[in-house]
Amino acid sequence: MDRHHPRPHPLLTRPFHEPKGTAAIAVLLIGRWDDEETTLTVTASHLVADGDQAAIDRLFREAQNSGDDNWACAYDVDRHPDAVRRAYEEHAHPFDAVVEDDVEGFEPATY
């Protein structure tokens, strides 16, 4: 999609100057911790309107009902890799855990 399209879909792209009324987006990651809590596996990623708690709750509930997912977090970023990086920095690294991305295979830089 052309970044300068006059009416971009608010959940697909964010133009340099957001038109009035365009919702900001967030990336919702859904996943699960292993039993030892040493690995957080990201199993799903969704673009949601920033602050749309109803959509976040619905997507997480659907994931819980269809599998072993027990973790979700929305990040105020535009791209999946940025959300995975934040998940690593905020939820895994402080506890010497790792993040495995089953959605796009992104590997956050570790330190």
92 falls within a domain: yes
- Residue 109's pLDDT is 83
93 falls within a domain: yes
At residue 25 the predicted structure's pLDDT band, cuts being 50, 70 and 90, is very high
Rounded to whole angstroms, how far apart are CA atoms 98 and 93? 7
**Using one digit for the tens of pLDDT, what is the confidence trace for 35-47?**
999 999 999 999 9
Residue 1 above 80 pLDDT? no
18 falls within a domain: no
Total count of domains within the chain: 1
Closest to 97 in 3D by CA, of 34, 33, 31, 38:
38
10 falls within a domain: no
- Residue 30's pLDDT is 97
Q: Is pTM, for the whole model, over 0.85?
A: no
108 falls within a domain: no
96 falls within a domain: yes
Q: Which domain holds residue 57?
A: 25-101
**Using one digit for the tens of pLDDT, what is the confidence trace for 54-89?**
999 999 999 999 888 999 999 999 999 999 999 999
56 falls within a domain: yes
